[in-house]
A and B are shown apart, each in its own frame.
Chain A
């Protein structure tokens, strides 16, 4: 098990700490014959402070969403654990689990799919409160209104009786965010919250998330495939590739001095409205993300890596190297 650990500058207990998390999905044949595992998350570790924003970046199929869902407790991890405020999710009783559910909010990618089409706005927002035993109906009403105002879906009275399909994409995503924060959680997991939205709305939604984060001192795990929005939002970045964190550092350091060849390729791929782009050749790694069923030997990235070291990268998996304080890379190029 390889882990990328972040050192904490402050001696504060972390809000969330993920330790050696593995999430493998079993593949079966005929319902019982086991044919293999999809290693969606294969050894991820990190700590997160209260009120911190962490971005997880990577291309499609690298295990970002599985990581998010495992953190949310939707999947039972194959190995490793998720520790929230010092309590491990594994072996949590039903009551504790319910409490955990109220402590984390989930913002999904597709706002329309994330909202049950047969419930109106009021009902959608009331559901988490009912599930988490807010018994007083008047209190529920006031919290629904409060949440709507916080995400600036105003005036609440007009919206309460509407159904999701009557709202615009941006309004739907605001509603999803309102549902995520209505239980006053300490952590928000936002899984590509703006990738399905119109470019004009994206900034608004990110601004909103940022503002809520500051206002409530929320921890936010922001999952995206778009490095351009990372700069906008978070303090720390984890770059994921084939279920592993290949590089982890501060945003500034990552953008100015990317170490892992994969990170470099990602940064090159950021779209930039510059006419010069037409002429310059972009060094984008060829090929596709590796199969998670049969990951390549050694470093997962070696088949696509422009600077792979023969007989090393394809044989042995690189450990993490600390290039600079707080900047960890899983790449043999940085061995000491």
Chain B
């Protein structure tokens, strides 16, 4: 093990290894953060995005850090709710009728129009539906009526999609028309806006709650997709999944490969011959089609894929590399000495032969991890990703399927790609440096 220990000590002298280690440690920290802050079940629930989970989230929003660029001031999402800070006024009228008034004032200082407007109502009543009428007040004191409606128990009024309002705004999209400067129609009129809701309820116990969501154009650290899901969830949770997948697959296939190579060389004869033939047959079997077959006909679970990858990796061509080293080691005098003092077969394989390969194995192992992470992403892009887990490949698959690049939602493709590239970079920087340390012939002086 001295070679290994000395090699690892040298790492500090190679800047690329240090950077690689920093990246890997960063990814590990991120993975731990993901697992501790968002529990597994919660992550899956959020990613599945059931009823109402992402109501307050904008569609196809850019990452929040875009606003840090000079000259950019894209709107964030504003939520005003009577359940949360907005007051209601109640006036009792004759015959058991109540008038509920809600005023929702908010400041709008952004340079761009919001992406969408929606009102959510909740009404409690027995038989008589409450009636509401809504007004939009602009900073220059114009009053725009938003219409009247009678409420059911839970109702979503999508202001953006109201065709009559659009007519009233002379064909402008409501989220534009309501915020535009009346003289220059493409510029936002900044200042205090107000949404006024006047409701009539006809029962004693009847009441309403309202929530206005002014959807912005930026959200979170990674933006959102077309199903309003925050991509940060997938990127964050993709980290532990990618690392675990890469690490487990690399450990599983490397260790078994190593042991099989050592056993083949040590016992020789037919054992070796059988292992070699299996390896050669396995080498010409194409791996990806097998995975696609398994994914299509059996299961797309990430753990099944992991198992298949490990199985295909056991008899990989690296057996030949290890075998060539073991064949040298087998004839080494120290092995003869060990046999002379009576060391058994297994002891010789594990204590005397395997340690000789470790220095060769470590860089290969480190370099194998990102390739397996990429393989997992590739499977997801091909539509064979795990159906429930949020992964980087899954995000890319969604982006690809909804034509994100054609529609200009670059963040959707760029964010997961950055994660994949950085992961590959970190492991490659460490792996190639380890390779240079342990296989000094590659070293350029």
Query: Does B333 contact A132, Cβ atoms closer than 8 Å?
Result: no
Contact, CB under 8 Å: B341 / A179: yes
In the complex, B332 has a CB within 8 A of chain A: yes
Alpha-carbon distance A104/B2, docked complex (angstroms): 29
A163 contact set on B, CB distance < 8 A: 2
The prevalent SS among residues of A at the interface is mixed
Given A97-B342, A131-B343, A179 contacting B2 (CB threshold 8 A) = no
| Residues 36-84 of A contacting B (Cβ, < 8 Å) | 69, 72-74
A120 and B273 alpha carbons, distance in the complex (Å): 35
Q: Is the CB of B355 within 8 A of A102?
A: no
Report the nearest A residue to B358, measured CB to CB.
Answer: A118
B2 to A72, Cβ gap below 8 A?
A: no
- In the complex formed, the residue of B with least CB distance to A31 is B273
Contact B342 A116 (CB under 8 A): no
A98 to B344, CA, bound (A): 10
Q: Are B343 and A113 in contact (CB under 8 A)?
A: no
List residues of chain A with CB within 8 A of the CB of B4: 118
Does any Cβ of A come within 8 Å of B1's Cβ?
Answer: yes
B336 at the binding interface (Cβ < 8 Å):
yes
Known: A118-B3, A118-B355, A163-B2. A108 touches B336 (CB 8 A): yes
Query: A284: CB under 8 A from chain B?
Result: no
Known: A74-B336, A110-B333. A117 touches B3 (CB 8 A): yes
Contacts A117-B2, A118-B3 given; does A132 touch B342 at CB 8 Å = yes
A113 proximity list for chain B (CB < 8 A): 332-334
What residue in chain B is nearest A99 (Cβ atoms)?
B342
Q: A114-B333, A118-B1 are in contact. Are A131 and B352 (CB under 8 A)?
A: no
Q: How far is the CA of A183 from the CA of B343 in the complex (A)?
A: 13
User: Would you call A106 and B334 a contact (CB within 8 A)?
Assistant: no
- Among residues of A, the one whose C-beta sits closest to the C-beta of B342 is A101
Smallest CB–CB gap between A53 and chain B, Å? Answer: 19
Q: Are B341 and A106 in contact (CB under 8 A)?
A: yes
Is B129 in contact with chain A by the CB < 8 A criterion? Answer: no
CB distance from A17 to the nearest CB of B (A): 20
Whether A316 is near chain B, meaning CB under 8 Å from some CB there, is: no
CB-CB contacts of B1-40 with A at 8 A, as 1s and 0s? 1111000000000000000000000000000000000000
Q: Which residues of B contact A292 (CB under 8 A)?
A: none
CB within 8 Å for A74 and B340 given contacts A116-B334, A118-B355: yes
- For chain B, which range describes its interface: under 10, 10 to 19, 20 to 34, or 35 or more residues? 20 to 34
Assembly CA distance A132 to B3 (angstroms): 28
CA distance A131 to B379 in the complex (A): 49
Whether the pair B342, A108 counts as a contact (CB closer than 8 A) is: no
Determine the chain B residues whose CB is within 8 A of the CB of A74 once the complex forms: 336, 339-340
Q: Which residue of A lies closest to B354 (CB)?
A: A118
Within residues 335 to 356 of chain B, which ones have a CB less than 8 A from any CB in chain A? Answer: 336-344, 347, 351-352, 355-356
Do the beta carbons of B341 and A128 come within 8 Å of each other?
A: yes
CB-nearest residue of chain B to A165: B2
Distance between A113 CB and nearest chain B CB, rounded to angstroms: 4
Q: Is the CB of A101 within 8 A of B334?
A: no
Q: Is the CB of B334 within 8 A of A131?
A: no
Q: Which one, B1, B332, B341, B356, contacts A127 given CB within 8 A?
A: B341
Q: Does A115 contact B (CB under 8 A)?
A: yes
**For B343, what are the chain A residues with a Cβ–Cβ distance below 8 Å?**
127, 131
Indicate whether A118 sits within 8 Å of B341 (C-beta atoms), given known contacts A106-B336, A108-B333, A163-B2: no
Nearest-neighbour CB distance to chain B for A158, whole angstroms, equals 17
Instruction: Give Cα A98–Cα B339 distance, bound, in whole angstroms.
Output: 10
Which of chain B's residues have a CB closer than 8 A to the CB of A118? Answer: 1-4, 355-356
Contacts of A98 in B (CB 8 A): 342
Nearest B residue (CB) for A98: B342
CB < 8 Å neighbour of B334 from A97, A114, A165, A183? A114
Partner of A114, one of B337, B342, B355: B337
A residues in contact with B344, CB < 8 Å: 131
A159 to chain B, nearest CB (A): 15
CB-nearest residue of chain B relative to A189? Answer: B340
Could you tell me the distance between the alpha carbons of A115 and B2 in the complex, rounded to whole angstroms? 13
The interface residues of chain A lying within 8 Å CB-to-CB of B355 are 116, 118
Bound CA–CA A172/B374 (angstroms):
48
Q: Who on chain B is nearest to A69 by CB? A: B336
**In the complex, how many angstroms separate the beta carbon of A181 from the nearest chain B beta carbon?**
11
**B-chain residues with CB within 8 Å of residue A179 when the two chains form the complex:** 337, 341
B334 touches A115 (CB 8 A): yes
Q: Which of A140-178 contact B (CB under 8 A)?
A: 163, 165, 176
Q: Tell me the nearest residue of chain B to A113, going by C-beta.
A: B333
With A and B bound together, what is the CA distance between A176 and B339 in angstroms?
Answer: 14
Which of B332, B340, B351 contacts A72 (CB under 8 A)? B340
Closest to A185 in B: B341
Chain B, residues 351-380, CB within 8 Å of chain A (1/0): the string is 110011000000000000000000000000
Q: Which residues of B contact A132 (CB under 8 A)?
A: 341-342
Interchain CB contact under 8 A, B339 and A131: no
A106-B337 in contact (CB<8A): yes
A104 touches B340 (CB 8 A): yes
Residues of B near A109 (CB, < 8 A) are 333
Q: Which B residues lie within 8 Å of A104 (CB)?
A: 340
Distance to closest chain B CB from A204 (angstroms): 21
Q: How far apart are the CA atoms of A120 and B5 in the complex, in Å?
A: 13
**B352 and A101 form a contact (CB under 8 A):** no
B272 to nearest A CB, angstroms?
10
Q: How far is the CA of A323 from the CA of B352 in the complex (A)?
A: 49
CB neighbours of B336 from chain A (8 A) = 69, 74, 106, 108, 114
Residues of chain B contacted by A115 (CB below 8 angstroms) = 334
Within 8 A of B (CB), among A84-137: 97-98, 101-102, 104-106, 108-110, 113-118, 120, 127-128, 131-132
User: Is A183 a contact partner of B3 (Cβ separation < 8 A)?
Assistant: no
Q: Could you tell me the distance between the alpha carbons of A114 and B339 in the complex, rounded to whole angstroms?
A: 12
Alpha-carbon separation in the docked complex, A102 to B333 (Å): 18
Which residues on B sit within 8 Å (CB–CB) of A31? 273
Q: How far is the CA of A109 from the CA of B337 in the complex (A)?
A: 11
Residues of B within 8 A of A105 (CB): 340-341
Q: Which residues of B lie under 8 Å from residue A72 when comparing CB positions?
A: 340
Pairs A–B under 8 Å by Cβ, sample size 21: A98-B342, A101-B341, A105-B340, A106-B340, A108-B333, A108-B337, A109-B333, A113-B332, A115-B334, A116-B338, A116-B355, A118-B3, A120-B2, A127-B341, A127-B351, A128-B341, A128-B342, A131-B344, A131-B347, A179-B337, A179-B341
Closest 10 CB pairs of A and B: A101-B342, A106-B340, A128-B341, A113-B333, A114-B333, A116-B334, A118-B355, A131-B343, A163-B2, A108-B333
Q: Which residues of A come within 8 Å of B, CB atoms?
A: 31, 69, 72-74, 97-98, 101-102, 104-106, 108-110, 113-118, 120, 127-128, 131-132, 163, 165, 176, 179, 183
* A-B contact sample (14 more), CB < 8 A, given A101-B341, A118-B4, A183-B341: A69-B336, A101-B342, A102-B342, A106-B337, A106-B341, A109-B333, A114-B333, A114-B336, A117-B3, A131-B338, A131-B341, A131-B347, A132-B341, A132-B342
